[in-house]
């Protein structure tokens, strides 16, 4: 039986906090999509590009701390404090970022990235 959204939220938090790419990969559907909120053809179309994105960030010195994981229905809303790396440093050294994660069959199938919590929460509250 697939994990509940709450159980998956705990696993997502642990994987993101550890930065363990194997743990992150285990959560992702092979055909996971990741991109901007309204992008019908996001740049990440499967697990490989998503993991490569995490790996590039780590190599650039980017670190994140999970600040919030909530389950407002069928999706997860994840808040992160991002530090390090040139783009973040241009914004004062740290930035808050939000992700809306859609889950199906116990795996992450879609991730949408937001700069604003309010926009992310509104998206997370909508049903697909």
Please state, in angstroms and rounded to a whole number, the distance separating the CA atoms of residues 113 and 128: 17
H-assigned helices in the chain: 5-18, 21-27, 47-59, 86-89, 117-125
* pLDDT interval class at 8 (50, 70, 90): confident
Nearest alpha carbon to residue 68 among 23, 35, 98: 98
CATH number at residue 42: 3.10.450.50
Residue 3 DSSP symbol: P
10: tokens are 């705990």
* Number of domains observed in the structure of the chain: 1
Residues 6+ apart with CB under 8 A from 47: 25, 28, 29, 30, 31, 32
How does pLDDT run across 69-124, given as a tens digit for each residue? 999 877 999 999 988 876 677 777 788 999 999 988 889 999 999 999 999 999 99
Parent domain of 59: 5-125
Please state, in angstroms and rounded to a whole number, the distance separating the CA atoms of residues 65 and 44: 22
Both ends of the chain: CA-CA distance in Å? 22
């Amino acid at each position: 039986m697939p994990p509940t959204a709450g159980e998956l939220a705990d696993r997502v938090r642990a994987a993101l906090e550890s930065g363990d790419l194997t743990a992150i990969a285990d959560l992702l559907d092979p055909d996971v999509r990741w991109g901007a909120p309204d992008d019908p053809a996001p740049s990440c179309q499967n697990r490989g590009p998503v993991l490569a994105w995490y790996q590039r960030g780590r190599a650039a010195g980017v670190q994140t701390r999970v600040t919030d994981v909530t389950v407002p229905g069928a999706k997860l809303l994840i808040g992160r404090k991002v530090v390090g790396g040139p783009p973040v440093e241009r914004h004062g050294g740290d930035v808050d970022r939000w992700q809306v994660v859609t889950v199906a069959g116990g795996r992450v199938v879609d991730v949408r990235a937001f700069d604003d919590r309010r926009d992310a929460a509104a998206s997370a509250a909508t049903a697909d």
